[in-house]
Chain A
Amino acid sequence: MNWQEIEEGAIIKHDIKKSPKTGNWRYMKPAVDKKTCIGCGTCFLFCPEAAIDFDSERKADIDYDICKGCGVCATVCPQKAIKMGKN
């Protein structure tokens, strides 16, 4: 690659389809009890991987492609609605 072909500003472009699935690293897996979840969003704020969103009924919804299974969500949940189990 010569200087005329090089990416402007040293930017690195990523193919989102080839992005690593950090969910593959998971040993423990969180599971949301949708009946107990009150949709307070505490887990959403604390999740270090931004792997938690709300589903259509405003219940915590975990993206298992990204979730590394750290367990922070289960610890911070005020309803104890998230339980960690074997992956």
Chain B
Amino acid sequence: MTYQTDKTNKKALTGGAAAAEALRQINPDVMPVYPITPQTPIIETFAKMVADGEADTEIIDVESEHSAMSAAVGAQAAGTRAMTASSSQGIMLMSEVLPIAAGMRLPILMLVSTRALSAPINIHGDHQDVMFVRDSGWIQIFCENVQEVYDNTFIALRLAEKVRLPAMVIMDGFTTSHSVENLEILENSVVKKFIGEYNPKNYLLDFEDPKTFGPVALPNFYFEFKRAQIEATDGVIGEIGEIFGEYEKISGRNYDVLESYQLDDAEKAIVVAGSTAGTAKVAVDELREQREKVGLLKIKLFRPFPYEQITEALKNVKKIAVFDRTVSLGSIPPLYSEIKNSLFSILNSQFSIQSYIYGLGGREIFKDDIKKVFEDDQKGREIKYIGLK
């Protein structure tokens, strides 16, 4: 699916082929994969590249997505760069292993072409699959178009390896994964320099300094491991800016955790993630022609959620419309919920609400711990922990 337009660095590719092109330039060590629509074009294109000798990745044809993610965990823990790709029910089948990858602090990269969840069965794009695993500890980056799929693959890899957490690069099934768009491709050598060599901090095949991965942690220490993981996940927002900056230097494309479009003087704003942001930009332009002060906030980084940046971006908007391409059955949709959470801190509210995390991994909680909570200062979004060492 490659159409070289001329001798420039411009190509016309589908989202899936653009992801495969990025994978070819990264040349990961191991890629355990299992096909599922609409992820298939990513792996199909990349497998052809490997067969043609354009990359020397070890592709493992596994028997299920559970095995794909398990093999990725094993390969990454061994000390290699491991990647995979999936969609919908495939991600559901991986879901047992996703928190293991995150808890073991393994920077696995997964390309996701989103798709609805069964039942009823449907192969087309929505965000139910990635939203289902939003609490799995993975970094989640949404892409609007084919160019962003290509760019975010490199950015997410650098970010994942920097903070030692796994990352998903999310494109909309069919809308992005199967649609041909123009994009600019970087030189192989430029990509190689940007991503660098993978030097794992800890790895299993280190014979000089042997380590055990994935041990048991009982109530005496489990909570502390999770607290450290929370810190690492929140740290993503502090680390990503520098990587965006470096990427701008090599590509000329300026990215952030969110994108504000016509938002400076907007009285009304649309909030949306994924390919619909492109359509919404056109809608905003047309409404602007009718002198409506409308803007758009595009969410790129969904996990960890950039609350402060979003509060700042939306603080002067009077009317906000949040678009969720998913459902949270029995609750309100996740993006809407997060936007409301972002704005809570600047609302003149009669309530003061503090978040407490307690009891992870079976840690005990006592009557006196409960009685003490009202002595705390309640401020901001900072989470407090009961019984943490």
> Which chain A residues have a beta carbon within 8 Å of chain B's beta carbons?
1-4, 6, 8-14, 16, 19
Contacts and interface: CB of A to CB of B under 8 A. Distances in A.
Nearest to B214: A10
Nearest to B221: A6
23 contacts: A1-B389, A2-B224, A3-B224, A3-B225, A3-B228, A6-B224, A6-B225, A8-B232, A9-B103, A9-B105, A9-B164, A9-B202, A10-B214, A10-B215, A11-B104, A11-B202, A12-B212, A12-B215, A13-B209, A13-B211, A14-B211, A14-B212, A16-B210
B228 A6 contact: yes
Contacts of B223: 3
Grouping DSSP codes into helix (H, G, I), strand (E, B) and loop, the B interface class, with mixed when no group exceeds half, is loop
Contacts of A13: 209-211
A7 to B, nearest CB: 9
A60 B212 CA distance: 30
B198 interface: no
B164 A8 contact: yes
B217 interface: yes
Interface in B197-220: 201-202, 208-215, 217
A3 B225 CA distance: 7
A6 B201 CA distance: 15
Contacts of B214: 10
Given A9-B105, A9-B202, 8 more contacts: A2-B388, A3-B225, A10-B103, A10-B104, A11-B202, A11-B212, A11-B213, A16-B209
B227 interface: yes
Contacts, number: 57
Contacts of B201: 8
A8 B226 CA distance: 10
A45 B355 CA distance: 56
Given A9-B213, A11-B213, A1 B104 contact: no
A1 B224 CA distance: 9
A86 to B, nearest CB: 32
Nearest to B217: A10
Interface in B64-110: 103-106
Contacts of A4: 228
Contacts of A11: 104, 202, 211-213
A8 B105 contact: yes
B103 A14 contact: no
Contacts of A12: 211-212, 215
A16 B212 CA distance: 12
A12 to B, nearest CB: 4
A50 B215 CA distance: 23
Contacts of A6: 221, 224-225, 228
Contacts of B215: 10, 12
A8 B107 CA distance: 13
Contacts of B103: 9-10
Given A2-B224, A14-B211, A16-B208, A8 B202 contact: yes
Contacts of A19: 210
B373 to A, nearest CB: 20
Nearest to B201: A8
Contacts of A3: 223-225, 227-228, 231, 388-389
